[in-house]
Amino acid sequence: MFNNPFDSFHNTVSEAKNEREQLGQLLTISTPRERLLLVLLTTLMLALGSWLVFGVVVQTWSIEGVVSRQDNDHDVYFLNVDLYGEGIEISSKFRTGMSAVVNIDLEGEGSHAVEGNVHAVVLKPVIVPEAETFPGSNPANWVEITLDEKPEPASILGRDCTVVVELDRQSPLAFFASRLL
């Protein structure tokens, strides 16, 4: 730039100014639209990272059954549910204290959901006359669930139901690490 002695001072200054503008254009990171995209991507990555560390992944199992016993003992309500088909294998993962929701089919009136906890899981054969309405074999697991409230209607014996049991809660990072390792 300043090495040529025959250039005029004005030409040299003009060249320096042009080079400085070109350098400024090269150093410009992006246009405002690209900056907005960069901010959005950064926000998305921070949200994903926060979810991976602080979020919760809940694993639940949903199984079919029949309400076989309903009991209340000193303001504690129990439901016994006989499980069929895949429920037999899945119920072996149930442990006392796990959260459960029982969705009881009210035959034409919709369904009624009651929340509670698994109280006991008992492996025993159960003979149910209407077993042909359920997939799988006749032997069933019997699951007793302690309810948080009295189920409505009062008599729900023999009704079909779906039991949703929460098996596990963990952070997404731990969930994916357990799957990959």
pLDDT in tens, 60-119: 888 887 877 777 665 667 777 777 666 666 777 788 888 888 888 887 777 778 888 888
Q: Last residue of some domain: 54, 71, 91?
A: 54
pLDDT at 49: 92
Domain assignment present for 1: no
Q: Indicate the average pLDDT of the chain.
A: 75
Q: Quick check: 157 and 69 in contact, CB under 8 A?
A: yes
Q: Could you tell me the CA-to-CA distances from 172 to 47, 134, 179 in Å, in that order? A: 13, 35, 11
Q: Rounded to 5 degrees, what are φ and ψ at 23?
A: -65, -40
Question: Quick check: bond before 32 cis, omega within 30?
Answer: no
pTM of the predicted model, to two decimals?
A: 0.59
Domain assignment present for 2: no
If we measure between CA atoms, which residue out of 66, 91, 64 comes closest to residue 80? 66
Residues 34 and 85 in one domain: no
Q: Could you tell me the CA-to-CA distances from 1 to 28, 86, 110 in Å, in that order? A: 23, 82, 85
Q: Could you tell me the CA-to-CA distances from 143 to 49, 52, 61, 139, 160 in Å, in that order? A: 39, 34, 14, 13, 14
Which residues span the domain enclosing 29? Answer: 9-54
Residues 89 and 160 in one domain: yes
pLDDT at 137: 43
pLDDT in tens, 21-47: 776 665 566 678 888 998 999 999 999
Q: Could you tell me the CA-to-CA distances from 166 to 77, 155, 169 in Å, in that order? A: 20, 26, 8
Which H/E stretch holds residue 146? strand 140-147
Residues 50 and 114 in one domain: no
Alpha carbons 90 and 88: distance in angstroms, whole number: 6
Domain assignment present for 4: no
Residues 144 and 79 in one domain: yes
Confidence of residue 132 (pLDDT cuts 50, 70, 90): very low
Domain assignment present for 162: yes
